[in-house]
């Protein structure tokens, strides 16, 4: 799923004229959001729902699931010094998404989670 989402994100970013670096940032953020759905949503169907909105000033990508939801404020940023010797090196997804995109919002509840990401032109 994340490969198809990545290809679609690249095509939309190219269509709207984002430069290669910004297009890559969008693509990677979309992949991370899709992986989070697959690994953490606990949705029965594990489907990823994507919406792209092209505006004159930005590209907005929404990645949605129908999972159990979570409290975004409960997730703390990972620290490299804690991960170096840890068995589990994962847990960077939300931090990567925030670092790559200009605006990120997490809306989550019992009906699922939507990650709203914007990349300015």
pLDDT in tens, 40-64: 899 888 899 999 999 999 999 999 9
Residues 6+ positions from 65 with CB-CB distance below 8 Å: 37, 41, 43, 46, 47, 48, 49, 112, 113
- Please state, rounded to an integer, the average pLDDT across all residues of the chain: 91
Q: How confident is the model over 26-43, as pLDDT tens digits?
A: 999 999 999 999 998 998
Task: Specify the pTM.
Answer: 0.89
> For the chain, how many helices (H) and strands (E)?
4, 4
Separation between Cα atoms, residue 111 and residue 51, nearest integer Å: 17
Kindly state the average pLDDT of the residues 71-90.
75
Kindly state the average pLDDT of the residues 66-77.
87
The pLDDT of residue 83: 66
pLDDT category, 89, cuts 50, 70, 90? low
Residue 78 has pLDDT above 90, yes or no: no
103-109: strand order across its sheet: 49-54, 58-64, 112-120, 103-109
Separation between Cα atoms, residue 56 and residue 72, nearest integer Å: 29
Residue 95 has pLDDT above 80, yes or no: yes
Kindly report the CATH number that applies to the domain delimited by 2-120: 3.30.565.10
Q: Provide the CB-side half-sphere exposure for 69 (13 A, CA).
A: 8
């Amino acid at each position: 799923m994340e490969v198809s989402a990545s290809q679609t994100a690249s095509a939309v970013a190219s269509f709207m004229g984002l430069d290669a670096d910004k297009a890559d940032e969008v693509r990677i953020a979309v992949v991370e959001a899709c992986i989070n759905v697959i690994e953490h949503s606990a949705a029965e169907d594990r489907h990823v729902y994507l919406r792209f909105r092209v505006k004159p000033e930005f590209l907005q990508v929404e990645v949605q699931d129908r999972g159990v939801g979570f409290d975004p404020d409960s997730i703390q940023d990972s620290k490299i010094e804690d991960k170096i010797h840890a068995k589990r090196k994962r847990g960077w997804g939300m931090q990567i998404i925030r670092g790559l995109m200009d605006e990120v919002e997490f809306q989550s509840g019992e009906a699922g989670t939507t990650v709203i990401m914007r990349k300015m032109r």
